[in-house]
Amino acid sequence: MSAMRPTVLTVDDEPDVLELIRFHLSHAGCEVLTATSGRSALETIRTHRPDLVLLDLMLPDIDGFGICEILRRQPATATLPIIIVSAWSTTDSRDLGLQLGALDYLTKPFSPKTLVERVQRLLNLRPATREKPPAAAPTPAPAPAPGTVNGQPAPVAKAPPVRN
């Protein structure tokens, strides 16, 4: 993630859509990464840790619904903001996308101005929606000294006398 410019990953198999989104988001101050398949999207997310993902539903390998499910099951990406950008305009696809963890759903064709506004809105909410960094692991307690119980000398039991 870039501290200065937010990084947005755009996942779509249509080059014209990728270029349109790249143009408008770059002018809005974002660094834009692209992926043309579900697998390449997952790899890009793993290696670049974008601040937000724009996700098409119709991809050549793993569809956008599957990508949402995968990202939400992994702790490192469970809170990664996702906006679905799809030609599917049915209420069912919208509801399913939101149920699977997308925070917004934009139907193609879309207004570039609306896209930029929605991306900026979610990026502005980022500190509230991002997971806190994991807390440092607690320092393990030192091993007890031999012959002690709770820091006190262990009681010594006398063995019974041995009878022959």
Global pTM reads: 0.75
Mean pLDDT within 5-17: 97
Check residue 126 and give its pLDDT: 73
Q: Percent of the chain having pLDDT more than 70?
A: 75
Q: Give the model's confidence band at 4: pLDDT under 50 very low, under 70 low, under 90 confident, else very high.
A: confident
Which pair of tokens denotes residue 152? Answer: 């006190």
Task: Report the b/e string of 6-16 with b at 16+ CB within 10 A.
Answer: bbbbbbbeeee
Mean pLDDT within 42-62: 97
- The torsion defined by the Cα of 101, 102, 107 and 108, in degrees rounded to 10, comes to -110
In 3D space, the residue among 43, 57, 124 whose CA is nearest the CA of residue 85 turns out to be 57
Residue 48: count other Cβ atoms within 10 Å of its Cβ.
Answer: 14
Check residue 161 and give its pLDDT: 59
The model's pLDDT over 102-136, given as tens digits with 9 standing for 90+, comes to 999 999 999 999 999 999 999 998 764 444 344 33
The model's pLDDT over 53-76, given as tens digits with 9 standing for 90+, comes to 999 999 999 999 999 999 999 999
- The torsion defined by the Cα of 46, 51, 56 and 62, in degrees rounded to 10, comes to 20
Least confident of 19-28, 49-58, 111-120, 137-146: 137-146
Decide the pairing of beta strands 31-35 and 152-153.
unpaired
Top CATH class of 7-129 equals alpha beta
Residue 88 burial (CB < 10 Å; 0-12/13-18/19+)? middle
